[in-house]
Chains A and B, each alone.
Chain A
């Protein structure tokens, strides 16, 4: 009779705490580890909750707009666009075409800025520290363009209900054209540094795989969904603003691992450049604001409107009771829904992969916690 010396092994519970250099914000993950392999995980959120949905009930529709900037603070203009379009849908206002084109240009520039932050932080987490600085250098130029347009760099408050606040200043078109002519070369530089690098490939291939059925079941959206092979983009399926007149492709991946999500986002940056080029040429002259009453009082009713934000599907559900302040606002934040897939993706991987996977889902805690 042999005696077994090892009765049983226990898993250690490790806490990847709210303060950590590479969870993008205050995200806390509780891990059950067996050696270095993750057996189970549980994300704990709520460290950045500010009560934005409640704040909306005490502000008018125009006053709430600067607060939507602070939801996804990396790509602020998309949140503005979703809110403004939801209110215009509720009131039935038709926006002039020139305003729509300028909105598209600003939103696509914001998408490029968002993907630059994503690329920089993901590469920094995996170890390539120079890519972070290069991405932020390009982002500086985009933020300069925003400063020229509306005065602020990060929290733009760029749109108004019915159109825009101001028209574009002189010199704006040339500056944007100058930028998008130089930008594809920078994307080539990042690809030369990362896409074929064997260390990068080994770190990101077959890591964090999520299949197409699982993705649809969990409610993923945005580039994470497209990387699993599902061709779903709200700009093509329910077009808003002038996207139905512009030509662009939707990149998809095959396997649904971290590498595919990386490729999809890089290709999206190139497609955004294409969209901006077309919008700059097709922009007509005209007014920039429709005739909107001074005090905005939408008729009683409810509306849900969603757009393709850089992180996924961002939706606003507004219930109005006829007064100047909304009765209830519900924000469908893409990062909140995408975070649910984290538990599924981490299972069976090592601790060192967790950072790569969190980076690839592209979450911002401002949206997750609201």
Chain B
């Protein structure tokens, strides 16, 4: 009985909760992004469907579900159907490893707020993210026409360059934690009483920029720049397959914000743990601290989208190879040096 509850029932419930959380969060994110962009542009966003327009994303999802699935006749059918699935599945799977908070007890059972905690969790997550790139490349390749081909090639080169920068900026964080497991990283921040964002600002900056580039958001959204290539790699997709790509992009935004909070901003820890007169903040469950920080970074993503123009793709590559990667390397050396000196 115990085995049943421990190893089958609770994980299934957690899976459902995580998937629901991601879907609902993506729907709400789409609504928030449109309202936020509208407010910044001196106009109201969608506010007719449902109270204050919350059901607008639901209406969009229903519309995409009932749309005709137009498949051009020259495509490679297997790959054409496979690529949105790849992008979508990899974007969802990585949420299995993200810890939302500390353990809490229900009915005498200790339940941890993550689905799985591998020792090499971080490596696994980044690896899965790289597989997601295949979804984009194959999507443009399968629709055998020039515009999607150009878009997918650009996106492939962009994602490869920024993954190198992403991983290098993580190495400097690992000097302090001696573990790749995400839960251990947060616990290390708790022991050191300082968040890694404050002692590794360069790594934070590089990671954030690389995260924006990986999720194809402005100012790095050339693969799907509407005004230049009509649609980039998803020109030939319509209906639910397009919805998969769309959800995958927003899931990426959520995912990178979550990674930034866990790695650099303490995950579920509350700020100022040493200050005693702020101890009333302890009564707020750690989940809400995590979600609050997540919301702040998502807001930052959207703010950047509303304001800045986009880079041309060769300038994109130059930023990564000429500035971010050397900076990350220098950061690794200096951090290692300082750690050895201190110890």
Contact B218 A127 (CB under 8 A): yes
**Complexed CA–CA distance, A194 and B308 (Å):** 8
Let me know if B179 is at the binding interface, CB within 8 A: no
Q: Which B residues are in CB contact (< 8 Å) with A232? A: none
Instruction: Write the residues of chain A forming the contact surface with B, with a CB cutoff of 8 angstroms.
Output: 12, 14, 20-22, 36, 123-130, 133-134, 137, 193-194, 197, 199-200, 202-203, 350-353, 355
**Complexed CA–CA distance, A351 and B43 (Å):** 33
**Complexed CA–CA distance, A202 and B323 (Å):** 15
Contact B41 A351 (CB under 8 A): no
Contact B311 A199 (CB under 8 A): yes
Known: A197-B308, A352-B312. A127 touches B42 (CB 8 A): no
Let me know if B209 is at the binding interface, CB within 8 A: no
Contact B312 A355 (CB under 8 A): no
Q: Which B residues are in CB contact (< 8 Å) with A203? A: 309, 311-312, 315
Contact B308 A127 (CB under 8 A): yes
Let me know if B67 is at the binding interface, CB within 8 A: no
Let me know if B230 is at the binding interface, CB within 8 A: yes
The stretch of B23-31, B221-229, B327-335 in contact with A is B221-229
The residue from B228, B230, B306 contacting A129, defined by CB atoms under 8 A apart: B306
Contact B219 A199 (CB under 8 A): yes
Q: Which B residues are in CB contact (< 8 Å) with A355? A: 227-228
Instruction: Write the residues of chain B forming the contact surface with A, with a CB cutoff of 8 angstroms.
Output: 37, 40-43, 146, 150, 218-219, 221-222, 225-230, 306-315
**Complexed CA–CA distance, A355 and B230 (Å):** 12
Q: Which A residues are in CB contact (< 8 Å) with B227? A: 21-22, 124-125, 127, 355
Contact A137 B42 (CB under 8 A): yes
Contact B308 A128 (CB under 8 A): yes
Contact B40 A127 (CB under 8 A): no
Shortest distance from the beta carbon of B246 to any chain A beta carbon, whole Å: 18
Contact B306 A351 (CB under 8 A): no
Q: Which A residues are in CB contact (< 8 Å) with B222? A: 352
The residue from A130, A133, A137 contacting B307, defined by CB atoms under 8 A apart: A130
Q: Which A residues are in CB contact (< 8 Å) with B229? A: 351
Contact A350 B314 (CB under 8 A): yes
Q: Which A residues are in CB contact (< 8 Å) with B219? A: 127, 199
Contact B309 A200 (CB under 8 A): yes
Q: Which B residues are in CB contact (< 8 Å) with A193? A: 307
Q: A124's closest neighbor in chain B, by CB? A: B227
Q: Which A residues are in CB contact (< 8 Å) with B226? A: 21
Q: A352's closest neighbor in chain B, by CB? A: B312
Contact B228 A352 (CB under 8 A): yes
Q: Which B residues are in CB contact (< 8 Å) with A125? A: 227-228
**Complexed CA–CA distance, A133 and B44 (Å):** 12
Scoring B225, B312, B313 by chain A CB atoms within 10 A of each residue's CB, the highest score goes to B312
Contact B309 A197 (CB under 8 A): yes
Excluding A36-B150, A126-B310, 9 further A-B contacts by CB distance (< 8 Å) are A14-B146, A21-B227, A22-B228, A127-B225, A128-B308, A130-B306, A130-B307, A133-B41, A134-B41
Q: Which A residues are in CB contact (< 8 Å) with B41? A: 129-130, 133-134
**Complexed CA–CA distance, A244 and B306 (Å):** 44
The residue from A123, A124, A126, A352 contacting B313, defined by CB atoms under 8 A apart: A352
Q: B221's closest neighbor in chain A, by CB? A: A127
Shortest distance from the beta carbon of A107 to any chain B beta carbon, whole Å: 28
Shortest distance from the beta carbon of A82 to any chain B beta carbon, whole Å: 32
Q: B315's closest neighbor in chain A, by CB? A: A202
Q: Could you list 12 examples of A-B contacts with CB < 8 Å?
A: A14-B146, A22-B228, A125-B227, A126-B310, A127-B227, A129-B37, A129-B306, A133-B42, A193-B307, A199-B219, A199-B310, A203-B315
Q: Which A residues are in CB contact (< 8 Å) with B307? A: 128, 130, 193
Known: A20-B230, A355-B227, A355-B228. A133 touches B43 (CB 8 A): yes
Shortest distance from the beta carbon of A55 to any chain B beta carbon, whole Å: 34
The residue from B43, B146, B310 contacting A12, defined by CB atoms under 8 A apart: B146
Q: Which A residues are in CB contact (< 8 Å) with B228? A: 22, 125, 351-352, 355
Shortest distance from the beta carbon of A236 to any chain B beta carbon, whole Å: 34
Scoring A123, A124, A202 by chain B CB atoms within 10 A of each residue's CB, the highest score goes to A202
Q: B227's closest neighbor in chain A, by CB? A: A22
Q: Which A residues are in CB contact (< 8 Å) with B221? A: 127
The 10 closest A-B pairs by CB, nearest first: A127-B310, A133-B41, A127-B309, A22-B227, A128-B309, A126-B309, A352-B312, A125-B227, A21-B227, A199-B309
The residue from A21, A130, A137, A352 contacting B40, defined by CB atoms under 8 A apart: A130
Known: A127-B225, A352-B313. A199 touches B150 (CB 8 A): no
Scoring B42, B225, B309, B310 by chain A CB atoms within 10 A of each residue's CB, the highest score goes to B309
Known: A22-B227, A130-B306. A202 touches B42 (CB 8 A): no
